[in-house]
Amino acid sequence: MSSIPADLKYTKTHEWVRVEGDIATIGITDFAQKELSDIVYVEITALGKTVKQTETIGFIEAVKATSDIYAPVSGEVIEANAQINKKEGDAPAMVNRDPYGMGWLCKIKISNPAELSTLLDQEAYTNLVQRSQHH
Amino acid sequence: MKFTPHTPEDIQYLLQKIGVKDVASLFDSIPEELKLRNPLNLPPAFSELEASVELKRLADKNLGTDRLICFAGGGAYDHYIPPVIDAIISRPEFYTAYTPYQAEVSQGTLQVIYEFQSLICRLFEMEVANASMYDCASALAETVHMARDITSRHKILISGTINPRYREVVATYATGLNVPIQTLPYTADLTTDLKALNDAIDNDTAAVLIQHPNFFGYLEPVREIVQTAHEKGALFVCAVDPISLGIITPPGAYNADIAVAEGQCLGIPLYFGGPYLGIFTAQKKYIRHMPGRIAARTTDITGKIGYVLALQTREQHIRRERATSNICTNQALCALIATIYLTWAGREGIKEIAKQCCAKTHYIADAIKHIPGFTLLSDRKFVREFTVKTPVPAREIVKSGIESGILSGVDLGNFNPEWNHWLLITATEKRTRAELDRYIDFLKTFSA
């Protein structure tokens, strides 16, 4: 069973969000990293740009597939996790090892806090994952 | 594995195994009205001897550069091809292999691709090269996808001094993408109009596409163009001539973001138009946006060197519907030819070939200045090709040349009716002094 912390918000597209003030830290869930398997590269293409909720903000490349990363909330993409694509070692694998910690992907300065209520909580996301696993 | 066709016994065995009466019933699902009821309308079979005589007869209708002294270029050049190329590419490991899908068992092919990429990077002074594309035109067209993908912008500016055939291919690719392509005019001296570039470039420009030396043979003010492009946040894409890089600054040195080229001049025969070799290079930061595939060197768990296809993410394997390019083959045999050619020539050889092309072309240009009725169309510097205004339509000079055993140049009227009196002239290292003089004497017969 995948780990789904209670203090985070989730999207149907398997991003998680940690809200601190008006900053949303974003990553992909434990379930998502397991589905993707070995992650080799992450790119935040929208760094510095203002995006709307559900827009593509980057992509994540695993050995067997590439997936888009979607903005869970509208706002400005102010920071990308520079540690993930460091040249030395297998830095992108941090997303596999610690998806909710060291493996965070980027930060968005929230422009419309009302959108946070459209995100899933732990229970709703758990249900979504369970349904996905049955397929 | 046997390569003999199946015998009647094999067929019977297979049909029995799958429980089908005869071969025809395998096609039962095809509606009757769609089936061909009569045999194909073909002449009777030839013997091998008859077939080779007929093919030779047809081939002899071509007037190749073995029979005409060639002064025509425009993207395809009559260079000397050393015999070592045929000797190596004829090895069946190379000659019969298709695209190396089974990467791990094609170590020789993968090593060649790796060496090819390395040599190209060195010649172009660019950071990464892929394992080849179809030709320069399609490579240039792929840069349009890539530039849009990288910059998230839409507009493409393409210089009017780029080979018109390349521009057609770029336009064809762009149609499907709904990309607006704006052609930049050229000045009286046949180089890109910088003022027009300044007026046209804006914050939605994804890339500026230039050919250097350009289609008319002249050197473009690349440093000014690259600066203008970068100031506006657009990529600078350059189509170059690999041989010219023996004597002029390579694209990496003037900060090209992407540089492409036609590799035919690197040991590939003229072949009536193809197959040719598309060269594609970029700065390393754009590697994941590149089309095609990249081979890399690694070591296995016992420490032995091995070659792998490291990046092929733009194609069906990984990016699938997100792929910006669906190009999924490479010109492995042509890339092998270029690899052998570059290795055979070496750094000094490429310089020498470029110098000879340059000297011989300038010898012709200097003589033409003194033929009444002919005018050089530009005072700009050129490397191996230049454009001359002719006293009669260029078409007539080309036609008459063929009767005299000379391929006089490229009649630019083929591309644009305004260029009917424009002749594009080149001379490779193959041309002798006697041939150059004979050509100049031939042009004098058109003297006004």
pLDDT tens-digit readout, B208-225: 999 999 999 999 999 999
Structure tokens given for B240: 């170059």
CA distance A65 to chain B (A): 5
- A43, A65, A68 member nearest B288 (Cβ): A43
Q: What percent of chain A has pLDDT over 70?
A: 95
Instruction: Determine the pLDDT at residue B103.
Output: 57
- In sequence order, which residues have a C-beta less than 8 Å from that of residue B166 and are 6 or more positions away? B75, B136, B137, B140, B211, B239
State whether residue B216 is helix, strand or coil: coil
CB within 8 Å: B313 and A66: yes
Cβ(B292)–Cβ(B128) below 8 Å: no
Instruction: Report which secondary-structure segment, H or E, holds B396.
Output: helix B394-403
- Over 80: is that where the pLDDT of B107 sits? yes
- Interface confidence (ipTM) of the complex: 0.70
- What is the amino acid identity at position B9? E
Q: What is the CA radius of gyration of chain B?
A: 25
DSSP per position, B32-93: GGGS--SPP--PPPPPHHHHHHHHHHHHTTS--TTTSEE---SS-------HHHHHHHTSHH
* Average pLDDT of chain A to the nearest whole number: 91
A85 and A92 in contact (C-beta within 8 Å)?
yes
Chain A environment of B318 (Cβ under 8 Å): 61, 64-66
**Residue B316, pLDDT above cutoff 70:** no
B313/A61 touch (CB, cutoff 8 Å), yes or no: yes
pTM: 0.85
Model confidence over B41-74: pLDDT tens digits?
Answer: 998 999 999 999 999 999 999 888 999 999 999 9
A73-119 pLDDT, tens digit per residue, is 999 999 999 888 776 556 888 999 999 999 999 999 999 999 999 99
Reported as a single tens digit per residue, the pLDDT across B212-264 is 999 999 999 999 999 999 999 999 999 999 999 999 999 999 999 999 999 99
Is the minimum CB–CB distance between B105 and chain A shorter than 8 Å? no
Cα separations in angstroms, B190 against A109, B78, B181, B214, B366: 51, 24, 20, 9, 18
pLDDT at residue B325 is higher than 80? no
B235-254 residues labelled b (16+ CB within 10 A) or e (exposed):
bbbbbbbbbbbbbbebbbeb
For testing the chain B interface, which of A57, A61, A66, A70 should be mutated: the one with the most B CBs within 10 Å? A66
Q: In this predicted model, what pLDDT tens digit does every residue of B394-420 receive, in sequence order? A: 999 999 999 999 999 999 999 999 999
Give bridge partners of residue B389 from the DSSP assignment.
Answer: B375, B422
pLDDT exceeds cutoff 80 at B115? yes
Q: Point out which residues pair with B181 in neighbouring strands.
A: B156
A110 to chain B, minimum CA–CA distance in Å?
Answer: 22
d(CA A104, CA A21): 17
Exposed e or buried b per residue across B69-79, where buried means at least 16 C-beta atoms within 10 angstroms of its C-beta: bbbbbbbbbbb
Do the beta carbons of residue B78 and residue B360 sit within 8 Å? Answer: no
